Amino acid sequence: MISKKERGHIDHIKAANSGAGFAGKIHRPIKIVVLGAGSSFTPRLINDVLKIPGIQGGEIALIDIDANRLRTMHKLINKLVAANCRGDIWNVTASSKRREVLGNAHYIVNCIEVSGIDCVRFDYYIPLEYGIDQCIGDTSGPGGLFKGLRTIPVFLEILRDCEEMSPDAYVLNYTNPMSMMCIAAARSSSMQVFGMCHSVQGTSRLLAKRAGVPFTEMTWECAGINHLAWFTRLEHNGKDLYPLLKEKAKKDLSGNPVDLEDTADLVRKDIMLHFGAFVTESSGHLSEYLPYYRVRKDIKNKYCRSGYDGESGFYAQNWPKWRKKADRDREKMLRGEKPIEWERSWEYAFWIIEAREKDTPFRVHANVMKNHRKAGPLIENLPYNGCVEVAGMVDRSGIHPTVYGKLPPQMAALCRSLMGAYELAVDAVIEKSKEAAILSLVLDPLTSAVCSPSEIREMTLKLFEAEKDYLPNYQ
C-alpha cells in the first residue's frame, strides 16, 4: 500500500516529468538574476520559469560582460516572454555591470565562464605533453583545477556583492568545477549556495529506460559527490533492477558482436560491475576521475568512445565551435528561423523556485556542504567539511538536505580520492598558493597515475605560466 505522503511525491514527480507544474499560485512577483546570461543554458532556463503555472511575473535581470551576447540574449528573452506570457508581467533588464541590476533578487542563477575560450586549449594540451589525456577537463585533474583557479575568485567577488545587495537570495550554481565552487562559497560567503547539475535527473531517466520501466514508477536512492554520485538503490515494484542492468552490461562489454546491445557508456557499465552501482556522470567525465581507463592506450581503446563517452580532447576541440554555434542559433531564433517553443525541462532550478514559492514539498538532488547541517554529516563516511550531492526536500522554508547515512565503502573511497584534491584546490584559490595547486594535482587520481610528483610540479608551473594573465597574484 502506497502511503499518502509517497503518493503525493509520485504525483509531484509526474508533474515534473510532464512539465505540468504544481497546483496553486505564486503569490508575489519574483526577481531572478542570471549571471553569465550569454550561456547556452539561459534560453531554456528562462523558458522553464515562464512555464510555471500561476506565476505572477516580476523581473528577469541578465548579466554578462560580453556586450554582444548580452544584447542578443536580452532581445531573445523578451521574445520568449512575449510568446509565453499574457500581459506585461515581466520586466527584462540587462547590464554588463552586475551591481546595476543585482539588488533585491530572490534567486540568482550562476552560469559564468571565466576565460574558458582562451584557456581551454592550455588546460588540455599542456597536460597531454605529460601523458595526461582528458576528455572534458572542467571538474577534476589539470583542466578542472585551472578552471577553478580562474573562476572561483570571480564567483567570490560576485557573492560579496550579493551579500550586500541581495543577502536573502538563493544562489543556484551551474558553473563547474561544481564541488570546488561550493566549497569556496561555504568558506568565504554567507550566501545560501546550492550546486545544480543535470547528472542525477538525466541518469535516473536513462536507467529507467535501460531497465524498461516507467521512470515515475522507479524507486531509487542516489548519493555521493558531484559527477560521482551512486545509484545505490534501483527498484521497480520492490524488485531490484541491478541484476538486469548488470547482465546487459556484461553483454555490452563482452566484445562478442552477437551479444552486443549498446556499446555506449562502457566506463560506467564497467564501474557498475566492479563497484556495485551506476554513477551519475557520463563515461567521458568518469574516466577522468579514476586511475583506470585513460592511462594505457589499449585500455582507453577498449572502454572509451567518441564524444561524451571518452573522446580525447572532446571539450577542448569542440568548446569554441559550440559557442559559435550557440551564437548563430540565437540569431536564427530572433529572426524566426529556429523555433523557441520548448516544453518545460526537468532542470531542478525552476522546480525549486516553484516548489518553494508554492510551499509544495518536492525532492531534488543538490550539491551542498556537509556542514550545512549542524547536527552531523549527511554522508557518514565522507569528510565532514566536503561538498556532497544528496537528496533534499524543498518547501517554503528552503532546501533541506536529507541524511543519507553510509555509502558502501568502495564507493566512498573513490569519492574521498577526489575530495582531498578539491579541498587543496580551494586552498590554492583562497591562499593564492601555487604549492597548494601542485599538491591538489599530486592527489588527483588520474594525474598521479600518469606522472611522478616532480613531473606534476613542472606541469603545474607550466600551466601557471601559460595562463598568467588570468591568474594574478599566485605565489
The confidence score (pLDDT) of residue 12 equals 52
* Residue 218 falls inside a structural domain: no
Whole-angstrom Cα distance, residue 200 to residue 280?
6
Query: Containing H/E element for 66?
Result: none
* Residue 269 falls inside a structural domain: no
Q: Answer yes or no: are the C-beta atoms of 39 and 113 closer than 8 Å.
A: yes
Alpha helices, DSSP H only, in 130-177? 141-165
Count of residues for the chain? 475
Can you tell me which residue has the cell 510555471? 52
Same structural domain, 347 and 387: yes
* Residue 278 falls inside a structural domain: no
Q: What domain range includes position 431?
A: 411-470
Same structural domain, 54 and 36: yes
**Selection from 2, 56, 1, 16 nearest residue 360 by Cα:** 16
Q: 473: exposed, middle or buried (C-beta count within 10 Å: 0-12, 13-18, 19+)?
A: exposed
Task: Provide the 8-state DSSP code for 308.
Answer: G
Same structural domain, 79 and 40: yes
Rounded to 5 degrees, φ, ψ at 144 are: -65, -40
* Residue 279 falls inside a structural domain: no
Whole-angstrom Cα distance, residue 312 to residue 294?
9
Same structural domain, 366 and 462: no
Same structural domain, 370 and 416: no
The domain total for the chain is 2
* Residue 95 falls inside a structural domain: yes
Q: Answer yes or no: are the C-beta atoms of 144 and 291 closer than 8 Å.
A: no
Same structural domain, 340 and 462: no
**Selection from 161, 232, 256 nearest residue 415 by Cα:** 232
* Residue 216 falls inside a structural domain: no
Same structural domain, 100 and 23: yes
Same structural domain, 363 and 459: no
The C-alpha angle 242, 244, 248, rounded to 5 degrees, equals 110
We report the CATH number of the domain holding residue 376 as 3.90.1820.10
Last residue of a domain, one of 401, 421, 440: 401
* Residue 449 falls inside a structural domain: yes
Choosing from 198, 274, 372, 400, the catalytic residue is 198
Same structural domain, 27 and 89: yes
Last residue of a domain, one of 362, 379, 401: 401
Rounded to 5 degrees, φ, ψ at 380 are: -60, -35
Same structural domain, 173 and 62: yes
The confidence score (pLDDT) of residue 458 equals 98
Q: 316: exposed, middle or buried (C-beta count within 10 Å: 0-12, 13-18, 19+)?
A: buried
Same structural domain, 419 and 384: no
Query: Containing H/E element for 234?
Result: strand 228-236
**Going residue by residue through the chain (475 aa), what tens digit of pLDDT does each one get?**
334 444 444 445 555 555 679 999 999 999 999 999 999 889 999 999 999 999 999 999 999 999 999 999 999 999 999 999 877 899 999 999 999 999 999 999 999 999 878 899 999 999 999 999 999 999 999 999 999 999 999 999 999 999 999 999 999 999 999 999 999 999 999 999 999 999 999 999 999 999 999 999 999 999 999 999 999 999 999 999 999 999 999 999 997 765 667 889 999 999 999 999 999 999 999 999 999 999 999 999 999 999 999 999 999 999 989 999 999 999 999 999 999 989 999 999 999 999 999 999 999 999 998 745 566 799 999 998 899 999 999 999 999 999 999 999 999 999 999 999 999 999 999 999 999 999 999 999 999 999 999 999 999 999 999 999 999 999 9
* Residue 168 falls inside a structural domain: yes
Same structural domain, 347 and 447: no
Measure CA 423 to chain center. Answer: 18
Would residue 198 show up in a list of annotated catalytic residues for this protein? Answer: yes
Last residue of a domain, one of 358, 379, 401: 401
